């Protein structure tokens, strides 16, 4: 991975962990997510129009835009449901890690992107670290009860499937359309698809804005911006490396979940995060 691509990925990881933490602490995570990415989409409008002046909309990009809009609508719904049902430091690593595991395998067949031995090792370490983050807190508690998947975990798994799906779609999409108008259309379409659900949550929407309008505005500057950095990185590096590298955000989620949200002891989470970090370093060095 080039230095420029790695810098984009690290920036995206920091922003991604931050706005997800804000969503987790909201009254209604789905309402919060919809509000933040809708505001972000409006902010992107002038930049999208400017980009289209120099790079026209290609008809070949339309199927990918339509696909990513549908997938992202499911993604936001599943993500909001997972935060409503489970701990941030648990569901976030599961959701992000499943994408890391699936994307390189699928990219091999779709884009003929073959990971180098070092890159493959890095992806494997990221997945191993995520599993460690999931299991070590249970071992630290000395529990012998069988591992049961709660509602938050199931929603996180669905979120991970959508992450893998939209990563592959968007890798192909930004090869046909500039990332700025691409992500604007993504945000606009997802916002419109989820609008009926927001109308059914009108009271929750008003409550969320009254209580968390500052956090919504802060998240709106981070969520689509974070993914915009990823889209530019897709243009510079293999999709498997980019998706694995951005999971550096899992390190930040472990710290946030333990220190800010009091979800459990820090050391077990840091152990898993260290393995994730080692994987990210391997991905960064791979070619």
In the predicted model, is pLDDT for residue 202 greater than 70?
yes
Confidence of residue 250 (pLDDT cuts 50, 70, 90): confident
Alpha helices in the chain (DSSP H): 3-24, 29-54, 62-85, 88-110, 117-140, 151-173, 179-193, 195-200, 202-234, 239-245, 249-255, 266-285
Q: What is the structure's pLDDT at 146?
A: 47
Mean pLDDT, residues 35-59 taken together:
89
Higher pLDDT pick, 278 / 173? 173
Domain spans, the chain: 3-285
Q: What percent of the chain has pLDDT over 90?
A: 36
In the predicted model, is pLDDT for residue 26 greater than 90?
yes
In the predicted model, is pLDDT for residue 38 greater than 90?
yes
Higher pLDDT pick, 72 / 265? 72
Q: What is the structure's pLDDT at 147?
A: 47
Q: What is the structure's pLDDT at 245?
A: 78
**DSSP summary character for residue 264:** S
Mean pLDDT, residues 242-268 taken together:
76
Which tokens go with 206?
């008003």
Q: What is the structure's pLDDT at 101?
A: 72
CA atoms of 273 and 271, how far apart (whole Å): 5
CA atoms of 181 and 183, how far apart (whole Å): 6
**87-101, 129-143, 197-211: least confidently modelled range:** 129-143
In the predicted model, is pLDDT for residue 187 greater than 50?
yes
Q: What is the structure's pLDDT at 124?
A: 83
Return all residues near 140 (Cβ < 8 A) that are at least 6 apart.
Answer: 265, 267, 268
User: CA torsion, points 150, 97, 252, 171, in degrees to nearest 10?
Assistant: -130
CA atoms of 253 and 24, how far apart (whole Å): 11
Instruction: Give 130-182 pLDDT, tens digit per residue.
Output: 777 666 555 555 555 544 556 777 898 899 899 889 988 998 999 999 998 99
Q: What percent of the chain has pLDDT over 70?
A: 91
Q: What is the structure's pLDDT at 131?
A: 73
Confidence of residue 96 (pLDDT cuts 50, 70, 90): confident
Higher pLDDT pick, 197 / 224? 197
Mean pLDDT, residues 122-133 taken together:
76
Using alpha carbons, list the distances in angstroms from residue 91 to 215, 232, 265, 274. Answer: 21, 27, 16, 18
In the predicted model, is pLDDT for residue 266 greater than 60?
yes
């Amino acid at each position: 991975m080039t230095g420029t691509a790695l810098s984009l990925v690290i920036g995206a990881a920091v922003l991604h962990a931050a706005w997800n933490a804000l969503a987790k602490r909201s009254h209604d995570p789905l309402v919060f997510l919809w509000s933040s990415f809708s505001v972000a989409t409006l902010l992107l409008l002038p930049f999208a129009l400017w980009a289209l002046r120099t790079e026209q909309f290609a008809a070949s990009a339309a199927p990918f835009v339509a696909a990513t809009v549908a997938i992202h609508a499911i993604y936001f719904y599943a993500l909001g449901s997972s935060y409503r049902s489970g701990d941030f430091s648990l569901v976030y690593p599961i959701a992000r890690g499943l994408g890391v595991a699936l994307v390189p395998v699928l990219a091999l067949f779709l884009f003929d992107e073959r990971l180098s031995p070092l890159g493959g090792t890095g992806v494997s370490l990221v997945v191993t670290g995520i599993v460690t983050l999931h299991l070590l807190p249970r071992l630290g508690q000395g529990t012998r009860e069988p591992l049961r998947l709660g509602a938050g975990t199931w929603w996180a798994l669905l979120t991970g499937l959508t992450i893998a799906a939209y990563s592959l779609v968007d890798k192909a999409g930004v090869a046909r359309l500039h990332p700025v108008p691409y992500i604007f259309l993504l945000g606009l379409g997802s916002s419109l698809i989820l609008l009926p659900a927001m109308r059914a949550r009108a009271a929750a929407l008003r409550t969320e804005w009254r209580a968390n309008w500052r956090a919504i505005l802060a998240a709106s500057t981070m969520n689509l911006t974070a993914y915009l950095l990823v889209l530019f990185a897709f243009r510079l590096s293999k999709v498997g490396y980019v998706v694995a590298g951005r999971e550096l955000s899992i390190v930040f989620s472990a710290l946030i979940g333990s220190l800010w949200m009091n979800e459990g002891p820090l050391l077990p989470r840091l152990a898993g995060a260290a393995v994730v970090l080692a994987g990210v370093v391997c991905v960064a060095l791979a070619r």
